[in-house]
Structure 1
Amino acid sequence: MSANRTAIKGWTRAQSRLGRRNAFPVVLLGLLGTACALLQVACIAWVLAASLTASHATAALSPSLPTTLVAFIIAAVLRALLQVLSEVQAARAGMRARTRLRRSTLGSILADGPRLLRANHSGALAALAVDRIEAVDGFFSRYLPAATLAMGAPLLVLIAAWFAQPLAALVLLCCGLAVPVMQALFGIGAAVAARRQFQAMSRLQTRFVDRMRGIATIVLAGRTEDEASRLALAADELRVRTMRVLRVAFLSSAGLDCAMAVAIIVIAVHDGALFLHPGSAVLLTVPHALFALLVVPEFFAPLRNFALAYQDRAQAASCAEGLAELPMASTPAVAPHRIPPPPPGGVSLVFENVSFAWESSRGLALDALSFRLDPGETLLLVGQSGSGKSTVIEMLLGFITPDRGRVLIDGNDLASLDPAALSGLVSWIGQKPLLFAGSLRENILFARPDADAAALDAALHVAALETVVADLPNGLDTRLGEGGYGLSGGQAQRVAIARAVLRDAPLLLLDEPTAHLDPETERAVFDSLRHLARGRSVLMASHSAAAHTLGGRRIELRDGRLVAHAEPRLGVAS
């Protein structure tokens, strides 16, 4: 827990340093707005003093009254313009910060890949990248400027009040010092309440995403009422915790109102007693007394804004707690570099004593694994579940790096390759391809959006999708549901093959590409894969008995070790 708190504090300090640079224009505009407010207060005090003392000094005060009113109007207009500019700059500061944080968060999620999903729910990650970072907007657009203005703007007011009436400045200073104490007391509760609110929100989102994915199972099991009740309970928990956050915020505001009321009462009582004392110079002190009294709200206005924005800091701390759980992007030992395009016919692949463990308590997933794949060769990885086949695939996709040993692609260390260069070398087809809600054309062109019609037709031919497209109501423009709803498993796998054809990468990785398919569909998919494998290096992990039809060598893994090796039974491109 202490380490987590340290990480949160470190994140908050680092973000504060970055955010203050963008908040500087907001602070400057706020200070100028305070100066305009002081000018307005002085004008009001002068006009009121002129009205209250007209019987004594009408001749002396009336010539300057029009000038005072004009000054008040100018100050009001300038203050309004400064307020608008300040809000614009604050919105830009929050926008820049959210963009930077989302880019960093998504980079961490994408860099860790499937490994991250083993320890985190996708709904929680989505809540972190969307809702939590969205909630941090107030930290950069409101809290950071307000924290600086809470010190600078009251100081300007104190200086002005000191010249008008020193005792009033001392009263404001004492009451102002009490505000941070109350903020600290209420701030602890606000941070705890905000953290619990975000936890409740994450649980609700996670449960909702899970139930939407399994809606068919829920309906068939007759559990719709139970699941609806549980969602209602989760939503009610979020409501209760949100109201607790607002309760703490209201208490904080009430404490500040009490401090301001005390300041007004003390200054008003003191000045009233002074005016009632015989021999007091009423004409000379009325404008100063009115100024000291009217300036009290302006003194507490920046403190009030800070109190309202303090909740944003609590939300930022809650976001930091989620971001602290994300793995830091690892820095490669060698600077990433690009490689020249490989020659036609595939690339070479070498594993040299590669060891890797997902967790130390689970042992090694790969244990000193060594093998070689020559350009244009096909290599079949077989073994029981948990033998390390998918770990090899994920390592070649760049999601994980070896704990020991190294992986070479055309003689280049995988750890030193630029991610964009690695992406251009590899095509991947998994057990269940991810299809997006959209047209079939959009899903195929996802691999290469700039592909022309000839390339698209060639991909459809290799993937044997021409008949499928002809049977669809709108051909390639037929809309698919989320997850490829509207296509069978075999048809979805053909879409993945078409994507791989468009990518035209020299290394093809196949991870159980025919899992969950019936034998007839499996044979058809393997026919398309044989066409796709020509002129490429192919590494396939599979349990299927029909996998040998793809040809190439066969190696068996057990507990992350190479235990058997077989020469090719059927050639494809070699």
Structure 2
Amino acid sequence: MSQPLPAEAARARALLSATARQGRGRMARPVLLGLASIACGLAQAWFMAHLLATLLGHGDSGWAEMGAAAALALLGIALGVAQEHAQADAGAAARAGLRRRAFARLLALGPADPRPAGERAALVVDRIEALDGYFARWLPAAILAAAGPLLIALAVASEDPLSGVILFAAGAMVPVGMALTGIGAALASRRQFDALQALSGRFLDRMRGLPQIVLFGRQESEAQALGAAADELRTRTMRVLRVAFLSGLSLEVIAAAVLGCLAWRHGHLLVGGHPDPQAALFCLLMVPGFFAPLRAFSAAYHERMSAHGAAAALAPLLEGEEADEAGLLLAEIPPSVVVTFEHVSLTYDPSRGPALRDLSFRALPGEALVLAGPSGAGKSSVLRLLMGFNRPDGGRIAFNGRDATSLRPSELRRLSAYVGQKAHLFRDTIRNNIALARPDATEAEILAAARAAHVTDFSDKLPGGLDTMVGEGGYGLSGGQAQRVAMARAFLRNAPLVLLDEPTAHLDPGTEAELLESLRRLCAGRTAIIATHSSALRARFTRVLEMADGRANPARMAGE
């Protein structure tokens, strides 16, 4: 694991505590309902003790006591059902809040997040789902395990002090037994979730690359690797379950011992003539009620351990939320942008060296700057800085003469329209895929963007036109058609800064030539920065900045 266990545990506790404080209103309801159910059980046991004493020839009870006991039994069932619903609501609310925060954080990180897509999906789905038991069952059970047995022990002690002492002693032994059986449970749970996340990520990544795996004949080895990962997950899951079973076993042993002690005491006294048979029966009847909250506590104990393991992985993601909110907001989008890099440097990983070194240039409105150079020269790093996915380690980036890093990362992205190497289209209509760039756009604006990017050249030939459904990833469209949809998004966004990252990569020369006119229209009147290897793009936009090893080559700056 990358972090020491104490640090991970502290971060997990902080996240769980903060989330519990935010939802304490919802979480108080199951606790109050649980206390009401315990009080109802006490009253029911008192009436039942009266009835049983009468059946044994002690006391005088009738239909009134039987009716009261039956009514209290029904009330207890209703309170139990209401408590279950309140617990489910509390857990659902906590998970929904955490999922919103985690998803917003992943969106804010964007491509700066190095985790594979499968691991990110497991983080937002599986890890947060594992926290449900903590908020829905563990927190209410922990409070009721302290308050419920204390209330019952006090009621029993008022009838027979020695029986109350026995229950008090048993209640003190339960946490000790659970602690002894629960040592290492959090670590086991964390390792289980690590194995689950690794399996999820590996499976999704291999499914995406299935054609390449089959093409290179690696299907057998990949199937074996997935089988090994699944077997590791099975082993770690069984270890977590082992801890849960041991915790429940220790509680049952204590409960059996207490019941035996009280049965011996009061049974012996009943045979020899008990001074208060009703009190003896009440004490015996309350033993199951005394251990009911503790059983719920024990059953939820492994939920706490699982939650700590899941929260330890989730906490690092959510710790950067404050940084996302830091920075200035734009009062309005400026009509034009002058982009200035002054001695900018950027390092992702010190072991790999700087991605950018002392880079300086200026891009003015109405001109397109082409960043050329081999792969790894730093072209895409420039675009990542301009979109706010990374911050420079040194130097200054300015928009219209003002420091760009003083803006929130989300504000930087409001200033730009981006077209990447391969457009990702969602399973939806072509129209809605274009409208993703600006959901509030009118139908006329969407149609104008589609025409500007020449999307209508092929969509008009489809049965549904712009309302034709496309598959995930653009299934059903060619690479060039998908890039035209991406270009239409950029037209619809109508931002003053256009960022293009290999927009004609993976296209044949004929399709590339068709897109060049759309690119020229998109860049007209805007500040455009284009990272490309394409000689056709370099010929169309004459201002070229040659880059190598993160640096600009002044001797090879064309178009100045």
In the superposition, the TM-score normalised over structure 1's length comes to 0.91
Which of residues 278, 281, 300 is equivalent to 1:287?
278
Quote the residue 1:341 is aligned against: 333
CA RMSD of aligned residues (A): 2.3
1:320 aligns with 2:324: no
Which of 87, 108, 113 is the aligned partner of 2:110? Answer: 113
1:188-216 deviation digits (Å, cap 9, x = unpaired): 25334322322232232122212211222
Equivalent residue, structure 1, for 2:359: 369
Q: Contact between 2:243 and 2:302, CA under 8 Å: does it hold in 1?
A: no
Q: Which residue of 2 aligns with 1:16?
A: 17
Aligned position for 2:163: 168
Partners of 1:509 and 1:538 within 8 A in 2: yes
Where does 1:446-485 land on structure 2 (aligned, <5 Å)? 446-485=436-475
State how far apart, in whole Å, the 1-side matches of 2:530 and 2:18 are.
Answer: 49
Amino acid at match of 2:9: I
Distance 1:334 1:9, change over 3 A: closer
Cα offset for 1:567? Answer: 4.6
Comparing 327-336 and 389-398, the one that deviates more = 327-336
Q: Provide the residue aligned with 2:299 in structure 1.
A: 308
Count of residues in correspondence between the two structures: 554
CA gap of 1:36–1:434, structure 2 versus 1, over 3 A, is same
When structure 1 is superposed on structure 2, of 370-379 and 20-29 the one drifting more is 20-29
Classify 1:333/1:197 alpha carbon distance in 2 versus 1 (closer, same or farther; 3 Å).
Answer: closer
Distance 1:184 1:501 in 2: 62
8 Å CA contact 2:15–2:311 kept in 1: the answer is no
Structure-2 separation of matches of 1:287 and 1:35: 18
Indicate if the aligned counterparts of 1:4 and 1:324 stay in contact, CA closer than 8 A. Answer: no
Residues 455 and 485 in structure 2, CA contact (< 8 A), matched pair in contact too? yes
CA contact (8 A) 1:339 1:421 kept: no
Contact preservation (8 Å) 1:377, 1:552: no
* 1: CA distance, partners of 2:184 / 2:356: 48
Contact map agreement 2:108 2:410 (CA 8 A) in 1: no
| 1:195-245, Cα deviation, whole Å (9 max, x unpaired) | 232223223212221221122223334444554454344434434433433
1:264-287 CA distances to partner (integer Å, 9 max, x unpaired)? 00011111222334xx4x3x4211
Matched residue of 2:182: which SS?
helix
Distance 1:308 1:465, change over 3 A: same
Q: Secondary structure at the match of 2:323?
A: coil
Deviation at 1:299, TM superposition (A): 0.8
**Residue type of the partner of 1:151?**
A
Question: 1:351-370 residue pairs with structure 2 within 5 A?
Answer: 351-370=341-360
1:110-509 aligned within 5 A: 110-117=107-114, 120-277=115-272, 280=273, 282=274, 284-326=275-317, 328-329=320-321, 331=323, 335-343=327-335, 346-509=336-499
Name the SS of the counterpart of 1:256 in structure 2: helix
Q: 1:512 aligns with which of 502, 507, 513?
A: 502
Change in CA separation of 1:440 and 1:333 when aligned onto 2, cut-off 3 Å = closer
Report what 1:555 is aligned to. Answer: 545
Percent identity for Structure 1 against Structure 2: 47
Aligned partner of residue 295 in structure 1, secondary structure? helix
2:345 match: secondary structure: strand
Deviation per CA, 1:284-306, whole angstroms, max 9, x where unpaired?
Answer: 42111111111011111111101
Q: Distance in 1 between matches of 2:8 and 2:411?
A: 33
Shift of the 502–15 alpha-carbon distance from structure 1 to 2, 3 Å rule, reads same
Alpha-carbon offset, residue 424 of structure 1: 2.5
Contact 1:448 1:502 in 2 (8 A): yes
The residue number in structure 2 matching 1:537 is 527
CA 1:4–1:492: 2 relative to 1, 3 Å: farther
Structure 1 residues 341 and 113 mapped into 2: Cα distance closer, same or farther (>3 Å)?
closer
Show CA shifts across 1:449-495 (max 9, x none).
33333222222222122222134343323322221122222111111
1:339 partner SS: coil
Instruction: Assess if the C-alpha contact under 8 Å between 2:325 and 2:408 holds in 1.
Output: no
TM-score (norm 2): 0.93
1:347-397 CA-to-partner distances (Å, cap 9, x unmatched) read 111122222211222222222222211222211111222221111100111
Asked if structure 1 preserves the Cα contact closer than 8 Å seen for 2:202 and 2:226, the reply is yes
CA distance in 2, matches of 1:360, 1:180: 47
Report the secondary structure of 1:141's partner residue. Answer: helix
User: Counterparts of 1:32-43 in structure 2 under 5 Å?
Assistant: 32-43=36-47
